[in-house]
Amino acid sequence: MKYKKPLSPLIFYSIASVLFFIDLGSFSIFEKPLIYSLLCFYILQLARPMSLPRIIYSCLLLSLSPLILYGRFGLGLIYLIPATVIGIKMRHALYDSAWPYYVLLASCLLAQICLVEYSILSLPISASYTISTITANILVIWIMSLKSYN
């Protein structure tokens, strides 16, 4: 198995910050959160060794988005904490492959749509919105995984 080294801190924090603003910009364009590029980047980085400050910074940014969008801080932590634990365990237990992280992303998006948006916030959802969100973000994580930072 090929050892993946983590990104340098400057690159990691700048990419995470830029993707946070891209997510907010996509929300203002589509009027619904359709693209979760920071979540895609975070899940993709779980395949590499991550320090606790990077996990906290990413989770803080991912928790700040619902505060800006819905007025509630930390809604994403409902699925981010289990996804982080599962992602770290997958890195240690599974062979170096990208598809488990795609499944993890899809499960995070389903939790975001069904659990957070529908159950907690009582927002209307549809099958077409769910499918388009999952498809768009799988495409985003696929494009991000094409670029190797090693």
Report pLDDT digits (tens) over 28-79.
898 888 999 999 999 999 988 889 999 999 999 999 999 988 889 999 999 9
Instruction: Tell me the pLDDT tens digit for each residue of 136-145.
Output: 999 999 999 8
Can you read off the two tokens belonging to residue 64? Answer: 């700040």
pTM above 0.75, yes or no: yes
Q: How many residues does the chain have?
A: 150
Using an 8 Å Cβ cutoff, are 39 and 87 in contact?
no
Report CA-CA distances (Å) from 97 to 20, 83, 112, 126, 139.
26, 17, 24, 31, 16
